[in-house]
């Protein structure tokens, strides 16, 4: 997942992340943002729509994704992936829970969720390359490789 695709506070760069109010366009067709904590001339390099279940600001209005995803996608591990996960549990006790939480949300592109999809996906999570595939309606972890 790209740096700008994530809303995580754990970003691999010093770029800030703020929820702001869209104040519309000014007379020069520049976006006006309100409620922002920036110094003058600080560039805004990425804008995302407000999503109430992810951004969580009281009394905010979401016009983009009004409802949270309804169901989580089950996650299963191949024998190989599960064995590798068990060797990592002492050093990374939360790895399985984190990986399961990510994959339950079906991080594939939205256009892939409605069609049969045999593609093997890869997610770089910390220093692990996670290989997974959708089998029927289950996210199936094939392998976990240390980078």
pLDDT digits (tens, 9 = 90+) for 14-56: 677 778 888 889 999 988 888 887 777 778 888 888 777 777 7
Stretch 113-132: mean pLDDT, rounded?
Answer: 89
Average pLDDT, the chain: 83
For residue 7, give every residue at least 6 positions away whose Cβ sits within 8 Å of its Cβ, in sequence order, or none: 17, 48, 54, 55
Question: Is 60 in the same domain as 111?
Answer: no
Domain boundary among 35, 68, 101: 68
How many of the other CB atoms lie within 10 Å of CB of 96? 19
Q: Which two tokens stand for residue 46?
A: 């990425």
Q: DSSP letter for 5, please.
A: G
Is the same domain home to 53 and 85?
A: no
Asked which of 36, 68, 100 is the last residue of a domain, the reply is 68
pLDDT for the residue numbered 84: 95
Query: Which range marks the domain in which residue 39 is found?
Result: 1-68
Q: What percent of the chain has pLDDT over 90?
A: 38
d(CA 147, CA 129): 7
Q: Which residue has the higher pLDDT, 40 or 102?
A: 102
Q: What is the pLDDT of residue 140?
A: 96
Please indicate, yes or no, whether residues 99 and 128 belong to a single structural domain of this protein. yes
pLDDT at 64: 60
Residue 72 has pLDDT above 90, yes or no: no
Reduced to 3 states, what is the DSSP secondary structure of residue 51?
Answer: coil
- Predicted TM-score (pTM) above 0.85: no
Number of folded domains that form the chain:
2
Taking residues 59-77, what's their average pLDDT? 75
For residue 56, CA distances in Å to 23, 62, 123, 124 come to 19, 10, 26, 27
User: How is residue 36 annotated by DSSP?
Assistant: -
What is the C-alpha separation between 144 and 132, in angstroms, rounded? 9
The radius of gyration computed from the CA coordinates of the chain, to the nearest angstrom, equals: 19
């Amino acid at each position: 997942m790209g740096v700008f695709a994530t809303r995580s506070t754990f970003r691999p760069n010093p770029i800030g992340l703020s929820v702001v109010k869209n104040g519309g366009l000014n007379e020069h067709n520049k976006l006006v943002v309100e409620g922002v904590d920036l110094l003058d001339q600080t560039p805004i390099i990425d804008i995302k729509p407000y999503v109430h279940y992810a951004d969580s600001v009281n009394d905010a209005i979401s016009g983009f994704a009004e409802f949270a995803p309804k169901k989580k996608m089950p996650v299963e591990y191949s024998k190989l992936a599960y064995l590798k996960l068990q060797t990592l549990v002492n050093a990374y006790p939360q790895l399985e829970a984190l990986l399961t939480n990510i994959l339950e949300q079906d991080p594939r592109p939205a256009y892939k969720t409605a069609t049969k999809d045999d593609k093997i996906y890869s997610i770089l999570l910390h220093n692990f390359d996670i290989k997974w595939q959708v089998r029927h309606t289950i996210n199936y972890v094939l392998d976990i490789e240390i980078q």
